[in-house]
Amino acid sequence: MREQPLFLAPMEDITDPSFRYICKMFGADYMYTEFISSDGLIRDGKSSVKKLDLFDYERPIGIQLYGHIIDSMVDAAHRAREANPDLIDLNFGCPVRKIAARGAGAGMLQNIPLMIEMTSAIVRAVDLPVTVKTRLGWDDNSKIIVDLAERLQDTGIAALTIHGRTRAQLYRGEADWTLIGEVKNNPRMKIPVIGNGDVNGPERAKLMFDRYGVDGIMIGRATFGRPWIFREIRHYLDTGEILPEPTVDEKADLALLHLDKSLEHKEGKPAILEMRRHFSSYFKGLPNFKETRLRLLTSPDVNEIREIIEEIREKWGNCRSEDLTGIYGI
């Protein structure tokens, strides 16, 4: 593991191969697939199996699994192993109701014995590093992560990622890194501890490294519409300098590249529909953009989309968001 590594968090419907390609290009050190249902995978569900697509340029890359039945999770881990990832990650942190209510994801925080038994079984079952991502606890009355981290380490996992919220918080409020710091500074902990939650820029990333001593930082929602955040953070950690935001011209190049990669992976309408959310974020904040934005986000034709992106390049050219703020008062 390199010094102060940066991780791209697994995010459903976001961290597909096209987005991972972009994030790797900007310097993400470690990446994960979208999380994969163990039940879907062992039943050869089309969407679950598709998520096993990995590429050499992505390495090191992990496959993240979730589920609530030990045998199914072990079988899914064997299946994931066949895709030849660098590691297998267990999702004990997803707070979404339909997952947690079944006892999977963050729902495991209500059944710690099952979590430990499942983790131990998977560590024994596969010949790859197994890692875990979880939260501080189920709610404010059960922030058990300091003790839980030791128990997970004892199962033989290779690293632990902690999101600084409870399941009850979902993504509300601020992430609390103090307990992440306690885990990292626990003399019993020998495995890498990776912090996650509210890292939204270079200065925040450096603060988390310096204040809490974590071995790495995982970035999730802040990468959406801003995959260059990895480049910004790495440059700041290395030099102390804040890089300027990419120009609209550079974002147009990025949008076209991202579109091409999405089409390689999904083809046709699914790729176009998925890219709309990225287009909206890449060009957020442009003045007098409403009409162009509407066309960009509703066109079903790839060639027309490319033409609209070129129009954006021509109209806003070398401007950056901060430049537009000064000029247009937005």
**Residues with a known catalytic role:** 94
In 3D, which of 220, 180, 179, 215 has the Cα closest to residue 198?
A: 220
Mind giving me the DSSP string for 297-328? Answer: HH---HHHHHHHHHHHHHHHTT--HHHHHHHH
CB atoms within 10 A of CB 242: 12
CA angle 22, 25, 26 (to 5 degrees): 95
Q: Which residues in the chain belong to E strands, given as ranges?
A: 6-8, 31-32, 36-37, 61-66, 87-92, 130-135, 159-163, 193-196, 216-219
Give the contacts of 59 (CB within 8 A, at least 6 positions apart): 86
CA-based torsion, 175, 150, 121, 112: positive or negative: negative
In 3D, which of 301, 294, 285 has the Cα closest to residue 248?
A: 285
CB atoms within 10 A of CB 44: 9
Q: Which amino acid is at 262?
A: S
In 3D, which of 45, 53, 66, 48 has the Cα closest to residue 19?
A: 53
Do residues 127 and 138 lie in contact, with contact meaning Cβ atoms separated by under 8 Å?
no
